[in-house]
Structure 1
Amino acid sequence: MTTRDPEKPLVSVIMPAYNTAAYIAESVDSVLDQDYPSVELIVVDDGSTDGTIEVLRAYGDRLTLLTQQNQGAAVARNAGIAAASGDYIAFIDSDDVWLPGKLAAQVGYMDQHPQIGMTFTAWHNWKPDPSGTFLKPDSAEGVHPKNPDGKSLVERGSGWLYNRLLFGSLPHTITVMMRRDLVERIGQFDPELKRGQDYDYWLRASRLTEIHQLNLVTALYRLHGEGCITKYPDTNYEYEVVRKALRRWGRLGPRGEKTSLGAIRRRLAQTCFSFGYHHYWEGDPRLALRSFRQSALRYPWSASAWAYLALSAWKSVGRKAH
């Protein structure tokens, strides 16, 4: 087990894992090799069949291994949180990597700013070379400023973020750190959301605390073409998350900030258009047709929505004919 410093706040790191035997050791090592002295790593295997568990068992008591039948990342994260005992909760996925110094930087900032319940940072996309090998970039040597301008925070990503988050999920899960008491107030990740459960969680957090984006790069997000991000869903989860937030809290932020109805209509239309566009080219044209109809009704001034509505109607008829 990693030696802990009882005078330092304990950080519980939650890692869901599913069929990432090729990458997970590098992810685990990036947590265990952090220079912050008080960490517990909880890995929740979500029904892997590729040897992931064998890789994890080799670490012995350096990590806590939980197993479950395949139920998705939300359920896995909830199980990890339930087993956590830390003052802070941090998240990493089992194919991504933290840079040295990540935990120390975020704990240091949050210790100095006790009113802030959640922080996140920038990250780098990590692509393989032409042979498929992942070579760490020079920036992987350790935490470094995204823009070396001397500022500790990224202004756009810091503050009472609810109204900004209605227009997109700013934090990347692998960079997030939260206070345990905030997590307890928010509750569980929504298991009904097969995608976007993290976006939903940050929206819920944004009603309860300021969120600060540190002006640092602290993680590498591995782009290997094998994750769920490459499998486009049949449900427009982004639309559902935003609609859920609006039904619950409306357009008014926790400090009185108000988003215009027109901006919300454009935002919802955009999510429908994007979902329809993916399905028009790579998925189900009937789903595309439905989505472009929603987009056009929400923002009828979009010529692109009407054009793709007509094209997807024609494509759907052609598919039916065959």
Structure 2
Amino acid sequence: MKASFPRFSVIIPNFNHAASLAQAIDSVLAQSYPAEEIIVIDDGSTDDSRSVIERYAGHVRAIFQDNAGVSAARNRAVASAEGDWLAFLDADDVFLPDRLKQHADWIREEPDLDFLLAEQESRTPDGRLLNRFLAESSAGRMLIAENPNASRMRMTPRHFEALVADGFGEIRTLSVPRAKFLEVGGFPVDCRIGEDLHFFIRLYAASSKAGAVRQVLATYLIHEDSTLRKNPVRTMELFVEALDSLAPEIRDAPMPIRKGYVEKCRHTRLSLAYAYLRAGRRADAIRGVLPSLIRQPGLRTLKDVLSICRGFPRQVAHGR
């Protein structure tokens, strides 16, 4: 028996994205399955964002706050959300027209789902396609191999392991019950980088039944001048810190989550070591990768360490 229609609260945090915010809002207003509400939370913008938001009076619910970071902004919006399901969109990205409908149809058939995902594409602002996650990740390839002709792909904890190892923390295609979000504890307000993955790992650990839609439902726009790309070493340092902060919780997580977490930490520390080498910081590179040998002793991790000690980074597949 089908459940009632899910009511989506779509949350758009914004900080100084006046140039792209209208496009993001428009993509939600254009959904074939309308959202119950659109909450735009402005996190202390100093550009023309307020006037953009005010143009949508009657179509969006606006919240303005002093700058506290994207995690605090999302959490505050969720606290006031009225929908029973949540969807998130950054102010410089867009939903495709069936983003909510594809998930709503599935939720009506299986209302006890812990969360849903979907394929997403990454593009440059001029429209050039960079990648698609499910088609190019180990977790996605596993799902597609198991469901070669299916538009819907069911996920269980063994798939969550691969998602954690791949570092899947793409918020744009996530649909999650508001109650589950609150159970997990929301986004970590003390993480400047990696807050999405931090949340996702805790969500995977608290879930048993989920799914992914094979259709592309959102577009992630990659800006070459983004803060993350300007300082890759500091970005990777903060990412490692975010993952390390999860260690106490991971000790009691289901085994698939623990295994995926250890693998993701290995890959992230190796990426940090590569960044150090490119910056001419060989000693930091060696210190950065050594903890992986303690956490995950074995030939593969030893090769990682030896590679960094020699100063010649070896090619490692994402999530491997």
User: TM-score normalized by structure 2?
Assistant: 0.78
Counterpart for residue 223 of structure 1? 222
Query: 5 Å matches for 1:250-265?
Result: 250=251, 253=254
Quote the residue 1:105 is aligned against: 102
* Partner Cα distance (2:9, 2:177) in 1: 10
How far is 1:112 from its partner? Answer: 0.8
- Tell me: CA distance 1:27–1:285, structure 2 relative to 1, closer, same or farther (3 Å): farther
SS of 1:236's equivalent in the other structure is: helix
Alignment of 1:1-322 (within 5 A): 8-128=5-125, 133-134=126-127, 149-154=148-153, 158-160=155-157, 161-209=159-207, 210-230=209-229, 231-232=231-232, 233=234, 236-250=237-251, 253=254, 267-282=264-279, 287-295=284-292, 298=295, 299=297, 301=299, 302-309=302-309, 311=311
Amino acid at match of 1:189: F
Structure number with bigger Rg: 1
Provide the C-alpha distance between the structure 2 equivalents of 1:76 and 1:35, rounded to a whole number of angstroms: 27
Secondary structure, counterpart of 2:32 in structure 1: coil
Check the 8 A contact 1:121/1:171 in 2, yes or no.
no
CA distance in 2, matches of 1:288, 1:105: 44
Give the structure 2 partner of residue 143 of structure 1.
Answer: none
Residues 24 and 46 of structure 1, relative CA distance in 2, 3 Å threshold: same
CA separation of 1:66 and 1:226: change in aligned 2, threshold 3 A:
farther
The amino acid across from 1:271 in the alignment is T
Aligned-partner Cα distance in 2 for 1:153–1:87: 22
Deviation at 1:282, TM superposition (A): 4.4
- Counterpart amino acid of residue 250 in structure 1: R
Report the Cα distance in structure 1 between the residues aligned to 2:58 and 2:64, rounded to whole angstroms: 15
CA RMSD in angstroms, aligned pairs only: 3.2
Gaps of 5+ in 2: 133-142, 313-320
Alignment partners' CA distance in 2, 1:275 and 1:245: 18
| Distance verdict in 2 for CA 1:271–1:246, change over 3 Å | same
Task: Give CA deviations for 1:86-141 in whole Å, capped at 9, x if unaligned.
Answer: 0110000001011111111111111211221210101111124xxxx44799x9xx
Change beyond 3 A, Cα 1:220–1:276: same
Assess if the C-alpha contact under 8 Å between 1:36 and 1:103 holds in 2.
yes
Change (3 A) 1:61 1:53: same
Query: What's the counterpart of residue 315 of structure 1?
Result: none
* CA contact 1:163–1:252 (8 Å) conserved in 2: no
CA offset digits 1:154-197 (Å, max 9, x no partner): 46xx2225433441333510111111221121122111111221
Do the aligned partners of residues 150 and 77 (structure 1) sit closer, same or farther apart at CA in structure 2, a change above 3 Å counting?
same
Contact 2:118-2:217 at 8 Å conserved across structures = yes
1:123 & 1:274 partners in 2: Cα distance? 23
CA positional deviation for 1:295: 4.2
The answer to whether the 8 Å contact 1:166/1:242 transfers is: no
**Conserved in 1, the CA contact under 8 Å of 2:193 and 2:242?**
no
* Amino acid paired to 1:23: S
Structure 2 CA distance for aligned equivalents of residues 45 and 286 of structure 1: 42
- Post-superposition CA distance 1:205-263 (Å, at most 9, x none): 2233222111221011111224343243366344445444443243762xx65866xx8
| Distance 1:206-1:264 versus aligned 2 partners, 3 A rule | closer
SS where residue 217 of structure 1 aligns?
strand
**Cα distance in 2 for residues equivalent to 1:193 and 1:46:** 16
- Measure how far apart 1:16 and its partner are: 1.0
Distance 1:136 1:88 in 2: 30
Is contact 1:123-1:217 (8 Å) kept? Answer: yes
Amino acid at match of 1:192: D
Does structure 2 retain, via aligned residues, the 8 Å contact 1:78–1:188? yes
**TM-superposition CA deviations, 1:254-307 (whole Å, max 9, x none):** xx65866xx876553332111121233248666434313434555574345334
Partner letter of residue 305 of structure 2?
A
3-state SS of the aligned residue for 1:30? helix
